[in-house]
Amino acid sequence: MTGYEIFQKKGSLFVLLFTVLLFCTASLAAQTSVKANLSAAYFQNQEKGYFLEVYYSIADAVFAAVHEQSDLDHAEIVFNLVIKHEDDVWATKVWKVAKSADDTTLATSQQSVVDGLRYAVDKPGVYEIKLYTNAVGVSKMLDSTSVSLSIKDKDSTEIELSDVLFSSKIGRANDKSKPAFVRNGYEIVPNPASLFGESSPIIYYYFEAYNLSQKLQGDKYKLFCTIESKSGIAVKGTGSAYRTKKKTGDTAIEMGTKIISKLPSGTYSFVYGIADIDEQILVKKRKDVFIYNPAIPHAKPTGLSITDAGDKSFIELYRMGNAELDLEFVKMIYLVDKPEREFFKKLTNEKAKADYIKDVWVQAAAKQSLVGSVYRYIYLKRIDEANVKFKSVFADGWKSDRGRVYVLYGPPYEVQRFPNSPQTIPYEVWAYGSIKGQGNVVFIFSDKTGFKKYEQIHSTLIGELQEPDWQRMVSKGTQSDYTSNPFDN
């Protein structure tokens, strides 16, 4: 391990997690998944580098699902953290969390294990953070999740901002506070899912600002913090965007709250920064935050009532107008065939469209052993993630081949990337523990053009494109030159 680990896990802290995520995670766990929530942030230290902090959470209900499928008298989950810096393994850590089967409240608990790790970082660049999870005593019950962040060189001539840390609670640290959650005298319990809503209507946030003396005149400045829709429009009802602060040094600790109880469900941008006393923004950053408020209507209601929805968990659909319903159906292209698309085109009534879309979600969810509204949340969230991960000049990320696989099957358990070499063109191998009951599934994507447009060329999953001779498709050599499958090496 090349990174110097400052903090190691010493216990577990239980905090409230949202019902929708618990249900989603527990339902997945009942099949093959022990997926955790993962987030990361970095802050400057007093030396020349940074602290990289990694946070994770996993629901109690997942431990209950593990126990149901194992022969052990307790539920155990193994965590394997791998951090890469510029494609080189920089730090690793393996640990285990166990819960007693005697705890009969696990299956119905709305709590979660939350913990964190802290590392000292002295090199700028991109850090890829991946957390593998595996249930002890349950065959192929594994999963993974990943995040990445970019740390740049320190610049003492400009105001800089740390990452923002979303929290379920902020308070003064005391003797009972977990060291991993203590920063500058405050205990900040992270919310790795970045999900807030009806069960947690307040976003607690924390970030740091550096080099304030470089651009700020006088002894006062303003903290800027707002929430924007995905289209970049500031939403109302979350409190003032500016707050006057007194400059006490070159570094400032910024924390506060945003009340989001009136916001409808969706993905928003949390925008934060520093402004001068005249409210001229000097520096700002943003981070996605997810809101789940199913009872709150969207800004443009159709006039349909809750009774029109039937299943209240789909009420959001029945608040949409024609354009919004059409856009959602476009995103469902991987779930419908041509006759279904043609049928939808003939619908003009908003309720008819909402009914049809709801039926598609319910049918697709049934194949995953999930509730329709939960699967809808997972699917649309994956589209947002794919747009970030696979963005290119050719198409939206979710419309690419890798995006399609990501949206339908989720993030792979492992990705092996093979760059351009004298022997092969660039390609990737995505590995899944299990899909549709089929184990050890792989997808192969290759960059045929050299412009980072990765196309699927093979998969072992039944029903997907299969090309047993895919190795020769990525090989630059002649038939006699190619002697082995690089993935097997």
Comparing 168-182, 335-349, 388-402, 458-472, the range with the smallest average pLDDT is 388-402
* Domain total of the chain: 4
Give the pLDDT confidence score for residue 478 in this predicted structure.
44
Last residue of a domain, which of 106, 122, 154? 154
For residue 381, being part of any structural domain is answered with yes
Domain harbouring 195, CATH code: 2.60.40.2550
Residue 412 clears pLDDT 60, i.e. is over it: yes
CA separation for the pair 81, 144 (Å, rounded): 10
DSSP 351-414: HHHHHHHHHHHHHHHHTTT--HHHHHHHHHHHHHHHHHHT--SSS-GGGSHHHHHHHHH-S-SE
Give the pLDDT confidence score for residue 13 in this predicted structure.
32
Residue 166 clears pLDDT 80, i.e. is over it: yes
Give the pLDDT confidence score for residue 33 in this predicted structure.
66
Comparing 70-74, 110-114, 262-266, 421-425, the range with the smallest average pLDDT is 70-74
Give the pLDDT confidence score for residue 17 in this predicted structure.
36
Q: What is the SS3 assignment for 116?
A: strand
CA separation for the pair 205, 167 (Å, rounded): 6
Give the pLDDT confidence score for residue 77 in this predicted structure.
92
For residue 403, being part of any structural domain is answered with no
Name the residue range of residue 370's domain.
Answer: 306-386
Comparing 131-145, 293-307, 319-333, 363-377, the range with the smallest average pLDDT is 293-307
For residue 471, being part of any structural domain is answered with yes
Comparing 17-26, 254-263, 365-374, the range with the smallest average pLDDT is 17-26
Give the pLDDT confidence score for residue 482 in this predicted structure.
36
Closest CA to 57 of 132, 9, 114: 114
Residue 472 clears pLDDT 70, i.e. is over it: yes
User: Tell me: the pLDDT tens digits for 224-236?
Assistant: 999 988 667 788 8
For residue 242, being part of any structural domain is answered with yes
Give the pLDDT confidence score for residue 75 in this predicted structure.
87
Closest CA to 85 of 177, 168, 189, 4: 4
**AA identity, residue 195:** L
Strands 266-275 and 281-292: antiparallel
Same domain? 322 vs 444:
no
Neighbours of 410 (CB within 10 A): 20
Neighbours of 406 (CB within 10 A): 22
CA separation for the pair 102, 267 (Å, rounded): 38
Comparing 6-20, 70-84, 173-187, 347-361, the range with the smallest average pLDDT is 6-20
Same domain? 431 vs 376:
no
Q: List 274's β-bridge partners, or say none.
A: 223, 283
Neighbours of 246 (CB within 10 A): 9
For residue 396, being part of any structural domain is answered with no
Give the mean pLDDT of 458-473: 92
Same domain? 39 vs 138:
yes
For residue 402, being part of any structural domain is answered with no
Which has more pLDDT, 148 or 32?
148
Same domain? 286 vs 352:
no
Same domain? 2 vs 144:
yes
For residue 406, being part of any structural domain is answered with no
Last residue of a domain, which of 237, 269, 296? 296
pLDDT band at 162 (very low <50, low <70, confident <90, very high): very high
pLDDT band at 317 (very low <50, low <70, confident <90, very high): confident
CA 446, chain centre distance (Å): 25
CB-facing half-sphere around the CA of 106: CA atoms within 13 A: 22
Give the pLDDT confidence score for residue 9 in this predicted structure.
36
**What would you measure as the largest C-alpha separation in the chain, in angstroms?**
73
Give the mean pLDDT of 111-139: 90
Average pLDDT, the chain: 83
**AA identity, residue 138:** V
Same domain? 278 vs 220:
yes
**Structure tokens belonging to residue 22:** 């618990």
CA separation for the pair 361, 357 (Å, rounded): 6
Residue 470 clears pLDDT 70, i.e. is over it: yes
Same domain? 28 vs 176:
no
pLDDT band at 408 (very low <50, low <70, confident <90, very high): very high
Strands 195-197 and 281-292: parallel
Q: What are the residues whose beta carbons fall under 8 Å from the beta carbon of 237, sequence distance 6 or more?
A: 259, 262, 263
Q: List 433's β-bridge partners, or say none.
A: none
Residue 332 clears pLDDT 60, i.e. is over it: yes
Same domain? 1 vs 130:
yes
pLDDT band at 27 (very low <50, low <70, confident <90, very high): very low
Instruction: Dump strand ranges (E) for 31-71.
Output: 37-44, 50-59
**Structure tokens belonging to residue 410:** 């989720």
Q: How many residues are given for the chain?
A: 489
pTM: 0.60
Judge whether 150 and 135 are in contact, CB under 8 Å: no
For residue 398, being part of any structural domain is answered with no
User: Tell me: the pLDDT tens digits for 395-405?
Assistant: 788 999 999 99
Residue 301 clears pLDDT 80, i.e. is over it: no
Residue 240 clears pLDDT 90, i.e. is over it: no
Which has more pLDDT, 109 or 249?
249
Same domain? 149 vs 1:
yes
Residue 458 clears pLDDT 90, i.e. is over it: yes
Give the pLDDT confidence score for residue 391 in this predicted structure.
79
**Structure tokens belonging to residue 56:** 């994770």
Judge whether 361 and 313 are in contact, CB under 8 Å: no
Same domain? 124 vs 237:
no
CA separation for the pair 410, 34 (Å, rounded): 13
Same domain? 234 vs 256:
yes
Last residue of a domain, which of 296, 315, 334? 296
Judge whether 332 and 356 are in contact, CB under 8 Å: no
Residue 450 clears pLDDT 50, i.e. is over it: yes
Distances (CA, A) of 193 to 55, 106, 304: 10, 20, 32
Same domain? 182 vs 255:
yes
Give the pLDDT confidence score for residue 477 in this predicted structure.
62
DSSP 258-284: EE-TTSPSEEEEEEEEEE-TT--EEEE
Give the pLDDT confidence score for residue 222 in this predicted structure.
94
- CA dihedral over 371, 376, 382, 385, signed as positive or negative: negative
Comparing 66-75, 86-95, 418-427, the range with the smallest average pLDDT is 66-75
Give the pLDDT confidence score for residue 487 in this predicted structure.
40
